[in-house]
Structure 1
Amino acid sequence: MSDDLLQRIDRTLSRAADSGALLPIRTERTPIQDAGIGFTVRWVSTLAHKDAARVEAAVKRDPGFNPFLPPDPELTVGPLGEQHLGVLNKFPVIDRHLLIVTRAFEAQTAPLTRTDFIALATVMASLGGLGFYNGGSEAGASQRHKHLQWIPDAEETARLGLFTDQLPADLPPFAHATHAALPWRHTFVRLPRCDDAVSLGEAMHHAFRNGCESLGIDAATDPMPPYNFLVSRDWMTVIPRIRERHENISVNALGFAGSLFVRRPEEIETVRAIGPLRLLAAVARPH
């Protein structure tokens, strides 16, 4: 299954790149340390005028336009269960960035369901990596049509592991804990080991509901209040949000895995001056 899905992703990538449907944004990276925690700021080089234009195209779309109804066939990897499709991010910053999109319209603020998590787990059970979600525009969502997201194993997955490595090693499945060094309201929930997509998806759904409950969020309310989640094969973290940006720096879920993105090189110094931890705390719900 993993080879087949990975091959489908790579065939679609190659086809979409050849046709011009895929418009990757190439970035440079700057590491920033904050309180002993390593962050990476990705930025579009001032020399990459084409990529800078792609960033503007990605963020300044017609709000009435829905790129997922239907998705571009050149970017569509294929079905992930009966209710979801795998679709490549048209403007990826990270290679093989996959969107898990509902076939029928659902709002990005609608509650996440068992079926949503099984669709994500269909990818992660075979390929690992990191799943994440931007629950509404205040949480960094750029599209109003419900879509979960996945990236392969990369520095973001490893950095999330640096956070979770400091949590209690004996925490049982579905128990939750907080990380003392993170100055925003959050919870981490341990996942059990699962051998197939359905059991992993159900475990993710259960962990999400547990995490929301521990934060005082009703996981079934519609619309949901703004939040992010990130999930690996071992842990999930849920972060309530209060705003999308601070000092003009936009933050989505990957910020809470230590990966920030800015459009202009001078904004690196803004992030450095604020400090990544303070930046994230400014857009999340305070303790």
Structure 2
Amino acid sequence: MAAADASDGAAVAAAPPLPAPPTLWQRVTERYDAAQRDAAATMTDTNTELVPDGGLQFVLRVAAKLRDKPKPPPDASGEAKKEWRNPFLPYDRALWVADLGASHVLLLNKFNIVPWHCLVVTAEFRSQLDDLDAADLAATWVVVQAMPRGGLAFYNCGPVSGASQPHKHVQVVPLPLDDPEGSGSDGISGAATSDQQGLARPPIWQAVAAAAAAAGAQPGQPFEMRNLPYAAFAATLPPLQQADAAGPQLEAVYKQLLARCIAFVKAQTGRQGATPQDSSLSYNWVCTRDFMLVAPRRQEAEGPVSCNSVAFAGSIFVRSREEQQFVRERGPLHVLTATGFSW
């Protein structure tokens, strides 16, 4: 791995800069097409429907069949453990898109349900229980900016967050969530879900904008999402361009939101000393060009439906008609409140 081979100070100093967004997007699309053609990556067929709930239009993606994917070893329980291999060390070169500086690589998601689903992976092993830091956020931001309408970045942190791999990675999918390729294979033409500025936003944006206005919050200032039944903390973002400069700015906002999240969980559970490294604390993080949001978690699933961070942005992936019917009958907000915390 090119990025992981830089083990001394000189090598790190000579590492290539983060790629420019237009160049990076071209590489994403070219590598995606090649990976699909060569069966290095596969996309699960899904049907999409909109499910209204609480004034929001949630995107429901339904897969008739979910392919197996590698999973981390189970907790020690006396049961025989299946052999597990870290898919990121070494990674499949057919999934490699770019080195993001010295500390991260950009890979395609081997098992994707939307086109151009990317993974921002630490070049060396770091735990998915760790905080995000400025380097993670800088690398992620250049990918978010590279996608023609912007990307949705998300991070599943903790044992009941929906995380499937213990090696630290942020995922990025293109917007809009309901149909990222519905307007042409280049992902650039107009789409029905785009706003007047041509930037598609995830379903939860409407609630974020309303809560920010009610709180009188300035960009970068955290506020509570009291217009939702489940606990979540958000901040709108000022315009950010350069990834290297954006990293520390995004980290500052993230730390404020996480501090609110930790304080809330402590008050709810009575736990002392809860931190993101505490294996008992789980949360979901999402970020777009417009906003950042953190939602604490207390369980991974409600009934048959499991959730990860994308669900808290407004898109739920279900694996069967049974799960689809459960979401329809109970409602997306019920599922999110049951897997998270109510106010």
- TM-score, length-normalised on structure 1? 0.91
The one-letter code of the counterpart of 1:101 is V
1:62-211 → structure 2 map (5 Å cutoff) = 64-127=84-147, 128-155=150-177, 157-169=201-213, 170-211=216-257
Give the 3 Å change call, closer, same or farther, for CA 198–160 of structure 1 in structure 2: farther
Deviations 1:220-259 (A, max 9, x none): 6524621101111121000011111110211000111111
- Partner residue in 1 for 2:333: 277
The one-letter code of the counterpart of 2:69 is A
Displacement after TM superposition at 1:139 (Å): 0.3
Q: Look up the SS of the partner of 2:211 in the other structure.
A: coil
Q: In 2, Cα distance between the equivalents of 1:152 and 1:184?
A: 25
The 8 Å contact of residues 228 and 252 in structure 1, kept in 2 or not, is answered as yes
Displacement after TM superposition at 1:181 (Å): 2.8
Q: CA RMSD in A?
A: 2.0
Deviates more, 1:154-163 or 1:5-14: 154-163
Give the 3 Å change call, closer, same or farther, for CA 139–221 of structure 1 in structure 2: closer
Q: Look up the SS of the partner of 2:317 in the other structure.
A: strand
Unaligned runs of 5+ in 1: 46-51
- Partner residue in 1 for 2:34: 15
The 8 Å contact of residues 21 and 142 in structure 2, kept in 1 or not, is answered as no
Q: In 2, Cα distance between the equivalents of 1:63 and 1:122?
A: 35
Q: In 2, Cα distance between the equivalents of 1:260 and 1:63?
A: 30
Q: In 1, Cα distance between the equivalents of 2:282 and 2:294?
A: 11
The one-letter code of the counterpart of 1:87 is L
Q: In 1, Cα distance between the equivalents of 2:253 and 2:274?
A: 11
Q: In 2, Cα distance between the equivalents of 1:133 and 1:214?
A: 17
Q: Look up the SS of the partner of 1:58 in the other structure.
A: coil
Structure 1 residue 57 and structure 2 residue 79: aligned?
A: no
Structure 1 runs of 4+ with >4 Å offset: 59-63, 217-221
The 8 Å contact of residues 191 and 203 in structure 1, kept in 2 or not, is answered as no
Deviations 1:117-145 (A, max 9, x none): 11101212343211111112310011111
Q: In 2, Cα distance between the equivalents of 1:219 and 1:125?
A: 33
Q: In 1, Cα distance between the equivalents of 2:111 and 2:71?
A: 13
Q: Look up the SS of the partner of 1:216 in the other structure.
A: helix
Unaligned runs of 5+ in 2: 1-19, 73-81, 179-200, 264-272
Displacement after TM superposition at 1:84 (Å): 0.5
Displacement after TM superposition at 1:167 (Å): 2.5
Q: In 2, Cα distance between the equivalents of 1:94 and 1:256?
A: 17
- Partner residue in 1 for 2:183: none
1:240-255 → structure 2 map (5 Å cutoff) = 240-255=296-311
The 8 Å contact of residues 167 and 178 in structure 1, kept in 2 or not, is answered as yes
- % identical equivalent positions: 32
Deviations 1:93-117 (A, max 9, x none): 1111100001111111112111111
Deviations 1:188-224 (A, max 9, x none): 1122222211222222111110101122358965246
The 8 Å contact of residues 75 and 90 in structure 1, kept in 2 or not, is answered as yes
Give the 3 Å change call, closer, same or farther, for CA 166–104 of structure 1 in structure 2: same
Q: Look up the SS of the partner of 1:65 in the other structure.
A: coil
The 8 Å contact of residues 212 and 236 in structure 2, kept in 1 or not, is answered as no
Q: Look up the SS of the partner of 2:316 in the other structure.
A: strand
The one-letter code of the counterpart of 1:153 is L
Structure 1 residue 212 and structure 2 residue 258: aligned?
A: yes
Deviations 1:50-79 (A, max 9, x none): xx1xx2412767572211111110011011
The 8 Å contact of residues 89 and 97 in structure 1, kept in 2 or not, is answered as yes
Q: How many pairs were matched up?
A: 279
Give the 3 Å change call, closer, same or farther, for CA 60–68 of structure 1 in structure 2: closer
